[in-house]
Amino acid sequence: MSGEPTGIDDLLERVRAGFRRIAPREAYDAAEAGTALLVDIRYAALRGRDGVIPGALVVERNELEWRLDPRGSHRLPEAVSHDVRVVVVCDEGYASSLAAESLHRLGLHRATDLIGGFQAWRAAGLPVTGRGQLSAER
C-alpha cells in the first residue's frame, strides 16, 4: 500500500460508483415483481426494535458472502446464480453499500443496495412487520 490512507467517505464514494443504488419504491416494486431478492443484513436488535421487510431474506452481515455465493457450500436456496439481483438492506444505507461491493467481487454483478436503508423504506410508508419483536430468521 502506498499513499494516503482512504477515509470511509472516500471509500463509500468509490464503492458506490461501481453500481446503481436503488430507492425504496423501486426495491419494493422489484421484490413484488419477483425480479429482486431483498436481503436484510441488520443485526437482531435492530430487527427487533424496528421490524422487518415482509419477504426479505435475513442474513446477518458476517454470513452474507457465504450464504449468497451460488457456488458456496453454505449457500441459501435463493442463491441460484450470479445473475440474481440482490438488494442489500442495512439500517441507513452505509454498510449495505460495502456489502453490495463485496458481492460484486464474488461475481454477483447485479448486486446493489437500498438508498437510505431500512429507515428510508419505513419512511416511504412501505410494508414492515414484526415491529417491536424479534423476527424469526429464515
The sheet that has 37-40: what strands, in order across it?
57-58, 37-40, 86-89, 112-113
Of all residues in the chain, the percent with pLDDT exceeding 70 is 93
Q: Greater confidence, 38 or 6?
A: 38
Mean pLDDT of the chain: 92
CA distance linking residue 132 with residue 70, whole number of Å: 33
CB-CB neighbours of 22 under 10 Å: 18
Q: Greater confidence, 43 or 132?
A: 43
**Residue 2's pLDDT is what?**
63
Of all residues in the chain, the percent with pLDDT exceeding 90 is 89
Dihedral angle computed from the Cα positions of residues 27, 29, 32 and 36, in that order, rounded to the nearest 10 degrees? -40
Q: Which CATH number fits domain 22-123: 3.40.50.300, 3.40.720.10, 3.20.20.60, 3.40.250.10?
A: 3.40.250.10
